[in-house]
């Protein structure tokens, strides 16, 4: 681990906008980006493809250690990175709802989380890293130069997701989205291993009534103050 290289950790629940903020911030600063959620999605996908049972914790950890992955930045705001697994572009495959469910089954497994700790830390390369996830500031990069915990009300996150899906011509009820986000929060925040919570030294930003530029400006002001 190269502790001289600055890290900005951005954690928070799904739908808080942290992915979009992390990408914009990384682009603005010329930093590398770690989308740690994509790693759990990749492990889920690889497990399905190689028929490793979700109950086989040691098998999943082995699989995670052997993954050959690459994140390729793009200029597309909708798809800012392409995700490669063993040379195959799996960007679309890891973003399906099924892949999200598989990711949420492998993510609570301590052996799996341990197996990808070093892989995540290897992303810390000059000139800096923006790390997006649930435990970036609490577990993986405890010495991060800046820790942001980005959150928003369940209602606001359900509305954002609803808008996104409508834009893709997918119809779902706002109420169902609300319930599923609430349920996911509950699971992420109450799991015994690496539960979702703000690091003690995190700056909490509530984006409920802020747009993406307003959040980005707040984060950039903090970066200027802490990292220069
Ligand atoms: O952010 P996402 O939806 O791509 O995350 C996929 C799953 O991985 C989700 O269940 C939360 C989990 N996750 C995690 O446990 N720790 C992280 N650092 C990132 C994601």
- The domain boundary residue, chosen from 69, 100, 126: 126
Same domain, 139 and 80: no
Q: The tokens of 3 are what?
A: 């502790």
Q: Is 227 domain-assigned?
A: no
Distance of CA 105 from the midpoint of ligand 1 (Å): 10
Distance of CA 217 from the midpoint of ligand 1 (Å): 25
Q: Is 108 domain-assigned?
A: yes
The response to whether residue 138 sits with its C-beta less than 6 Å from ligand 1 reads no
- The domain boundary residue, chosen from 111, 126, 141: 126
The response to whether residue 104 sits with its C-beta less than 6 Å from ligand 1 reads yes
Q: Is 60 domain-assigned?
A: yes
Q: Is 228 domain-assigned?
A: no
Q: The tokens of 99 are what?
A: 């892949």
DSSP state of 1: -
Q: Is 190 domain-assigned?
A: yes
The closest of 144, 134, 143 to 198, measured between CA atoms, is 134
Same domain, 87 and 139: no
33, 37, 41, 43 alpha-carbon torsion, rounded to 10°: 80
Q: Is 206 domain-assigned?
A: yes
The response to whether residue 40 sits with its C-beta less than 6 Å from ligand 1 reads yes
Q: Is 50 domain-assigned?
A: yes
Q: Strands 69-73 and 146-151, how do they pair? A: unpaired
The response to whether residue 6 sits with its C-beta less than 6 Å from ligand 1 reads no
**Distance from C-alpha of 105 to C-alpha of 129, rounded to nearest angstrom:** 27
Q: Give the other-Cβ count within 10 Å of 162's Cβ.
A: 19
Same domain, 78 and 140: no
Q: Is 175 domain-assigned?
A: yes
Q: Are 21 and 74 in contact (CB under 8 A)?
A: no
The CATH number covering residue 63 comes to 3.40.50.300
Residue ranges making up the domain that contains 168? 1-31+128-222
**Distance from C-alpha of 82 to C-alpha of 96, rounded to nearest angstrom:** 15
Same domain, 156 and 45: no
C-alpha triplet 81, 226, 228: angle, nearest 5°: 80
Ligand 1: which residue has its CA nearest to atom 3? 37
Same domain, 99 and 165: no
- The domain boundary residue, chosen from 126, 153, 182: 126
Distance of CA 125 from the midpoint of ligand 1 (Å): 22
DSSP state of 198: -
Domain count, the chain: 2
71-122 pLDDT, tens digit per residue, is 998 888 778 889 999 999 999 999 888 898 899 999 999 999 999 999 999 9
| For helices 36-49 and 57-66, angle between their N-to-C axes, nearest 10 degrees | 110
167-212 pLDDT, tens digit per residue, is 888 888 999 999 989 998 998 899 999 999 999 999 999 999 999 9
The response to whether residue 103 sits with its C-beta less than 6 Å from ligand 1 reads yes
**pTM across the whole model:** 0.94
Mean pLDDT within 121-137 = 97
Distance of CA 227 from the midpoint of ligand 1 (Å): 27
Same domain, 53 and 100: yes
Same domain, 144 and 180: yes
**Local confidence band at 164 (pLDDT 50, 70, 90 cut-offs):** confident
Cβ neighbors of 209 (< 8 A, separation 6 or more) are 156
The response to whether residue 107 sits with its C-beta less than 6 Å from ligand 1 reads yes
Q: Which helix (H) or strand (E) holds 200?
A: none
């Amino acid at each position: 681990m190269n502790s001289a290289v600055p890290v900005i950790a951005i954690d928070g629940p799904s739908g808080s906008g942290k992915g979009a903020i992390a990408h914009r911030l990384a682009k603005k600063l010329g930093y590398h980006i770690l989308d740690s959620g994509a790693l759990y999605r990749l492990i889920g996908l690889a497990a399905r493809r190689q028929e490793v049972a979700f109950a086989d914790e040691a098998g999943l950890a082995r699989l995670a250690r052997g993954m050959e992955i690459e994140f390729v930045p793009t200029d597309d705001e909708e798809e800012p990175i392409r995700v490669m697994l063993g040379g195959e572009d799996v960007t679309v495959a890891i973003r399906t709802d099924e892949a999200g469910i598989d990711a949420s089954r492998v993510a609570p497994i301590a052996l799996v989380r341990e197996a990808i700790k070093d892989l995540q830390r290897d992303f810390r390369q000059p000139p800096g890293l923006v790390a997006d996830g649930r435990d970036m500031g609490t577990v993986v990069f405890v010495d991060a130069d800046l820790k942001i915990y980005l959150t928003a009300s369940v209602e606001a996150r359900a509305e954002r997701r609803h808008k996104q899906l409508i834009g893709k011509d997918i119809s779902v009820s706002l109420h169902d989205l609300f319930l599923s986000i609430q349920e996911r929060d509950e699971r992420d925040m109450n799991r015994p291993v690496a539960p979702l919570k703000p690091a003690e030294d995190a700056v909490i930003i509530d984006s409920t009534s802020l747009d993406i530029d307003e959040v980005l400006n707040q984060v950039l002001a903090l970066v200027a103050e802490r990292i220069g």
